[in-house]
A and B are shown apart, each in its own frame.
Chain A
């Protein structure tokens, strides 16, 4: 059974940092691109960042580029999101999500078949 378990969310002041983790199990983690998608309270879904299976290429939404860093450790089956210079508008539930198909080319496939339960990040003074 595929499982994705996020952790690391919490309350942080504007300008602060936080590191999210997503522990994966039930599939061959190293074969799949992974992504982070967020949802502000009462709002819709927003793609944040993606990383290919090897970790060699990363992709970011303009809203987080230069502030967030996605990474992965395939030996630990874990995905990360380092979030720096946090703003109030970064307040959201952050979900990790798995690509629906194994990576074939050099870019993530972009359909998400499994999602974690989410971790809440609140940026407030």
Chain B
């Protein structure tokens, strides 16, 4: 099973700041990585698929990069609605797995 390790566990930032979230895979997953955002009491929302492609309707301040084992989600300038938990997920190998999540909180 491929293990995805997200860091940091919590990111404390102010609105307008840049957020950089990391996801590391235990083995190469090519570019088969997605990022999701989840707010309390809500279902996850797809942000990025195949490492760097923004999903429909996702603002340009969200960007993804990486391939192989190291991936990054960047939020260029945090808006108040961006404070949430972010998960990465791989679809390279069965079983599909998620990272443990990074919480982006207001500083």
Contact = CB atoms under 8 A, between A and B. Distances in A.
A118 B43 contact: yes
Given A109-B91, A113-B56, A46 B46 contact: no
B95 A62 contact: yes
Given A45-B38, A100-B46, A100-B55, 7 more contacts: A44-B99, A45-B87, A59-B95, A95-B43, A112-B34, A112-B36, A117-B43
Contacts, number: 56
A46 B45 CA distance: 15
Interface string B11-53: 0000000000000000000001010101000111110011000
Most buried by B among A47, A50, A95, A111: A111
Range, interface on chain A:
20 to 34
Contacts of B67: none
Given A44-B87, A46-B98, A59-B94, A112 B55 contact: no
B49 A100 contact: yes
A50 B91 CA distance: 12
A92 to B, nearest CB: 13
9 contacts: A45-B87, A45-B98, A47-B89, A59-B95, A110-B91, A111-B34, A114-B46, A115-B44, A117-B43
